[in-house]
Chain A
Amino acid sequence: MMERPFAITLDVGSSRANKTGSWRTERPVYVHRLPPCSSACPAGEDVQQWLYDAEEGDGGYERAWRRIMDDNPFPAVMGRVCYHPCETKCNRGQLDEAVGINSVERFLGDEGIARGWRVEALVPPSGKRVLVVGAGPSGLSAAYHLARLGHAVTVYDAGPRQGGMMRFGIPKYRLPRDVLDAEIERILDLGVELELDRQVASVLDDMVAGGFDAVFLAVGAHLGKRAYIPAGSAAKVLDAVSLLRSMEGEEPPQLGRRVVVYGGGNTAIDAARTAKRLGAEEAIIVYRRTRERMPAHDFEVEEALEEGVLMKWLSTITHVDGGKLVVEQMELDETGFPQPTGQLEELEADSLVLALGQETDLSFVDGVPGLEIEDGVVSVDETMMTGYPGIFAGGDMVPAERTVTVAVGHGKQAARHIDAWLRSAELTPSVERQSADFGHLNTWYYTEAPRSLRPQLEAARRQSTFEEVVGGLDESTALYEARRCLSCGNCFSCDNCYGVCPDNAVIKLGGRDEPYAFDYDYCKGCGICAAECPCGAIEMVPEEI
């Protein structure tokens, strides 16, 4: 140690004695905001979080898969049939293109099947027994969650095979059956009992007979709506639901060379594309409004057109006779409602498929006290319980958007409420998280990265076979896509805060869950860390002066 001349020579680092934190009027705090993808997911998946896991690759994939499985037992199915509202809301969409969340989920789902990943019950058996009516997405989802929550679950289904609309409503070329079977198998492996071809005549009777403590109704909507169309002799008219259901039977239905599908929803599209694959030379969709107003998802319409399906907009079918249809031109009034124009034309058709929506057969709940039915669906409260204590319902038979994902979400919610009800406990509502908007992001830090597209089967083979149309991503592409995630509102350990602090007032802990901490001894509250956080995971809050 050399001699230190008084005052003009100082010891290094001695300024740490000067706690500049006292200058502060605002303090930075780390926050976890709710990303739009997660808030948009009908199944309540924490999308951003499982992408965060997936970004790590290798071991990250299983962590990601398990995080999905906490909310949704069907990653591989979701990765194929979900209409992914998460991507519609994705903040990256405002930067370049939304993250291909759905394709990553499919990759993870397929990984789960390929590697035989399994899940276990989370708690020991509760001794309670729950009946689930309907082995569709909602019922199986509920069964899965209830089983993990320790309850003994039995599933009755009127149909010959499990899966409900996933099997009988969605064509193979969108959802290969081996994938569906594998994911359902995983649920049954949790000890869920499944009884097929099991009609429920009266739910109350079965509830008592089976000694069930609670029931979840999820029978879906399998009855195709009929519209009155004057029909002459020999007109082959059938509804889309039965057409699609019959595809699971032994011999495929005979539709003839020219098939007309009446309707504008996804089911109409499925019917038309199925008809094409069954050998129809012409498959024409007749819809009374314009393409813009079609309920069907745009990408499905696209795929259908690619496969040679024809569309007839602004048209209604007024009469069916033999091989002919009479079609009337419509026009939209100012409210956007179609009005007849009186202009008629004829259309050749060997068969007419009606895709005008579905209804539920609710006879089995007749006479359940307190259980209310409105517009052909069962009313439930916010806990998914019907007017009859202990009987819950979800999926297509309750008022909601009718998609697989929504149904799966219902299953999860119902299961959690049923669990709470069985334990006669209040379900603690999850804490309200501030939403992570695009405005919270500092996008300069994100590299330009175009979305990666999934491979598609070429049109020729799509017109003749039921092979899956949309392929999956290979590992590196899936990883790339996962890493396009902006991690909105949640720290992803980019070290920016640690680096940009002029006062070294951010401590790097290096942990996975809590990577950093603020050193309020020195933080002057300049707010650079918050301003430069790429994902908006830091908030400046006023100090009490």
Chain B
Amino acid sequence: MRSQLEGSLAVAKAVALCRPEVISAYPISPQTHIVEALSDLVRTGELAPCEYLMVESEFGAMSAAIGASAAGARAYTATASQGLLYMAEALYNASGLGLPIVMTVANRAIGAPINIWNDHSDAMSQRDCGWIQLYAESNQHAVDLHVQAFRLAEELSLPVMVCMDGFVLTHAIEPVELPTQEQVDAFLPPFDPRQVLDPDDPVTIGAMVGPEAFAEVKYLMHAKQMQALDLIPDISGSFSQAFGRTSSGLVRTYRSADADTIVVALGSVLGTIEEVVDELRGEGERVGAVGITCFRPYPLEEIRAALRGARRVIVLEKAFAVGLGGIVGQNVRLALSGHAVSVYDTVAGLGGRPITRRTLRTLIADVLEERLEPDRLAFLDLDWKLVERELQRVSADPRSGPHAENILRDIGSVAASAHGGAR
């Protein structure tokens, strides 16, 4: 049924339709509305049978989910930002034990400085923790991904993280098509655990593994996660058949087939990007967009296929590796190795900084008019004046060496240019 809902509520209802048996959560903005709604559904009995644990921390939340899942219950939790980091140890444990937990991450920046607004620093920091990572572009997408996530997780016996942009999606009220319980039940069979703690067939789970077998265990984890690259398109296909809506699969392309310039991004910013693509197409620019829905496992082939034809690829990402640069960018380069494509890493939207059509157009213009160098980290919409002042101040510090000097040179040149893009 189509209704005008807040994203958090829509996701909560979708999760409830998946009949989780144990939910353990700890409040953190902007995830709160999701778990509040779920606790309501459990209290009213609309979601039953289900145990809702109000735990003392995100670490406890993920741990309780691990216990519940190991005991054969379908387990769910949600978090964001610092909360995801506080779970980090347990995240690796859940994936290492192969427990099919599903978690919503309402993406939010990581401090210091503390910041409650949206970016992807949290999810990106855990990209290698062994969880499958799916990124939602809209609330409808988030709803659809959650339904698929449970099936994916349980078919592979691996945990899945569904990432949706904090506030931008979680707090956005927009029309959402919610599936019926019958549809979901037909699509998602009851949880049949690979292994379960049961006195009738006791096992020891979580043994200590030494050098003699650890590498093999880890390789098997990798092999298992890679299976998702085949499974996700299947599930996404059967989802379309079951629900009459296409779902994104691993990657989604928009007017990219014949595009010279393709913007690659994850999550809700893709909508705005598509608006800009349409505008530029209207002005005769051959621009397109590619959205990565599944970032882990990394769909190398699909991304290579989607970008092969382009001359320029702009990777717009809401996080970066301090001291290196783009994270998604590095991954995209891997897919493009051997192809003569210029890749532009642009960090945007950190800590909730709005990404607008105007700033996007400026960025693309900078690329097209070669004001930006490929393979050079750029920051969208950065206040260079402020940064310059601060860097000048610290450059008085005798310790500033050649790298600091380079950055200062950067600024000198940038300061001349009219816009906020870097070079």
Contacts and interface: CB of A to CB of B under 8 A. Distances in A.
Interface of A: 1-12
Contacts of A12: 202-204
A12 B202 CA distance: 7
Given A1-B201, A2-B201, A12-B202, A7 B207 contact: yes
Main secondary structure of the interface of A (DSSP, over half): loop
B217 A6 contact: yes
B98 interface: yes
24 contacts: A2-B196, A2-B203, A3-B195, A4-B195, A4-B203, A5-B194, A5-B195, A6-B220, A7-B207, A7-B213, A8-B97, A8-B98, A8-B217, A9-B203, A9-B204, A9-B205, A9-B206, A9-B207, A10-B203, A10-B204, A11-B203, A11-B204, A12-B203, A12-B204
A425 to B, nearest CB: 62
Given A4-B195, A11-B204, 4 more contacts: A8-B209, A9-B204, A10-B204, A11-B203
A263 B346 CA distance: 122
Contacts of B196: 2
A133 B312 CA distance: 130
Interface in B228-273: none
A11 B201 CA distance: 10
Interface in B32-67: none
Contacts of A1: 201
Contacts of A5: 97-98, 194-195
A10 B204 CA distance: 5
B208 to A, nearest CB: 9
A502 to B, nearest CB: 19
A3 B196 CA distance: 9
B216 interface: yes
Contacts of B201: 1-2
A27 B194 CA distance: 45
Query: Which of A4, A6, A7, A8 has the most chain B CB atoms closer than 10 A to its own CB?
Result: A8
A11 to B, nearest CB: 7
Contact of B216 (A4, A7, A11): A7
B213 A9 contact: no
A7 B216 CA distance: 9
B96 interface: yes
Which 9 residue pairs spanning A and B have beta carbons closest together? Answer: A10-B204, A7-B213, A7-B209, A12-B202, A10-B207, A7-B217, A2-B195, A9-B205, A3-B194
Nearest to B206: A8
A8 B205 CA distance: 6
Contacts of A6: 213, 216-217, 220
Contacts, number: 47
B206 A2 contact: no
Contacts of A8: 96-98, 205-207, 209, 217
A6 B193 CA distance: 16
Contacts of B206: 8-9
Interface of B: 96-98, 193-196, 201-207, 209, 213-214, 216-217, 220
A544 to B, nearest CB: 32
A534 to B, nearest CB: 36
Nearest to B210: A7
A83 B220 CA distance: 82
A2 B96 contact: no
Query: Which of B96, B193, B204 has the most chain A CB atoms closer than 10 A to its own CB?
Result: B204
Contacts of B195: 2-5, 9
A6 B224 CA distance: 12
Nearest to A12: B202
Nearest to A14: B204
Contacts of A4: 195, 203
B374 to A, nearest CB: 44
Contacts of B202: 12
B205 A2 contact: no
A4 B207 CA distance: 12
B377 to A, nearest CB: 39
A89 B277 CA distance: 106
A4 B202 CA distance: 11
Nearest to B205: A9
Nearest to B201: A2
B413 to A, nearest CB: 54
A8 B206 CA distance: 5
Nearest to B224: A5
A275 B97 CA distance: 95
Contacts of B97: 5, 8
Contacts of B207: 7-10
A4 B205 CA distance: 9
B209 A2 contact: no
A345 to B, nearest CB: 92
A487 to B, nearest CB: 40
Nearest to B194: A3
B214 to A, nearest CB: 8
Contacts of A2: 193-196, 201, 203
Nearest to A5: B98
Query: Which of A1, A5, A11 has the most chain B CB atoms closer than 10 A to its own CB?
Result: A5
A12 B207 CA distance: 11
Contacts of A9: 195, 203-207
Nearest to B207: A10
A195 to B, nearest CB: 80
Contacts of A3: 194-195
Nearest to A3: B194
Contacts of A10: 203-204, 207
B187 to A, nearest CB: 24
A211 B160 CA distance: 107
Query: Which of A2, A3, A7, A10 has the most chain B CB atoms closer than 10 A to its own CB?
Result: A7
Contacts of B217: 6-8
A491 to B, nearest CB: 35
Contacts of B214: 7
Nearest to B157: A5
B230 to A, nearest CB: 20
Contacts of B220: 6
Contacts of B209: 7-8
B49 to A, nearest CB: 23
A17 to B, nearest CB: 14
A4 B97 CA distance: 11
B79 to A, nearest CB: 25
A496 to B, nearest CB: 29
Nearest to A15: B204
A179 to B, nearest CB: 64
A2 B195 CA distance: 6
A5 B97 CA distance: 8
A304 B213 CA distance: 86
A114 B207 CA distance: 67
A145 B201 CA distance: 64
Contacts of A11: 203-204
A9 B206 CA distance: 6
A6 B213 CA distance: 9
A143 to B, nearest CB: 68
Nearest to B98: A5
B372 to A, nearest CB: 47
Nearest to B213: A7
A9 B157 CA distance: 14
A1 to B, nearest CB: 7
Contacts of B216: 6-7
B258 to A, nearest CB: 46
A124 B203 CA distance: 64
Contacts of B98: 5, 8
Contacts of A7: 207, 209, 213-214, 216-217
A396 B205 CA distance: 79
A349 to B, nearest CB: 90
Query: Which of B96, B203, B217, B220 has the most chain A CB atoms closer than 10 A to its own CB?
Result: B203
A11 B195 CA distance: 12
B211 to A, nearest CB: 12
A4 B196 CA distance: 10
A12 B220 CA distance: 23
A6 B194 CA distance: 12
B139 to A, nearest CB: 36
